[in-house]
Amino acid sequence: MQFETRTAESTILLGERLAQLLKPGAVVALYGELGSGKTTLIKGVARGLGVREPVRSPSFVIITEYAGRVPVYHIDLYRLNNAEEASAVGLESYLSSDGVCLIEWAERAESLLPAATIRIRLEVIAGGRRIEIEGLAPELMQELKQFG
């Protein structure tokens, strides 16, 4: 399912709406170039999951944990080269937790991601962002479709 957002705030609102559909243990993998809106969408998901503190890209620390109605793990694999390095920083323990994992640059650890991973591709387009979401159950896709 594709969405187009025109502003950072509308990208955040889409993230909030998506958060309402996520269950504990969900893994969300985000793909897109630098500046495509991955962190902005994650801000919305975190806000929708009840995170009150500011969300920033954890590029240098790799994993930032937030308290929400479930634990939220913001994982940024930009500085890693492959799945082996992601495994070395403990990615698998987060993937098997009861929290929600939000993973930027997920292609760097694709082989570690569970089959039920929700995949989101973001792309800069004229006037905004194109956001494609795959992996949600059909009934949840219908709920999310009401956003657009």
Provide the residue-wise pLDDT of the chain in tens; the chain has 148 residues: 899 999 999 999 999 999 999 999 999 999 999 989 999 999 999 999 999 999 988 767 899 999 999 999 999 999 999 999 999 999 999 999 999 999 999 999 999 999 999 999 999 999 999 999 999 877 777 777 776 5
Q: What's the CATH code of the domain at 90? A: 3.40.50.300
CB 41 within 8 A of CB 133: no
How many domains is the chain partitioned into structurally?
Answer: 1
pTM for the model stands at 0.93
Using the CB atoms, write b or e for 104-143: b if 16+ within 10 Å.
bbbebbeebbeeebbbbbbbeeeebbbbebebbeeebeee
SS3 letters across 51-103: CCCCCCCCCCCCEEEEECCCEEEEEECCCCCCHHHHHHCCHHHHHCCCCEEEE
Which range marks the domain in which residue 88 is found?
Answer: 2-145
Q: Residue 148's pLDDT is what? A: 56
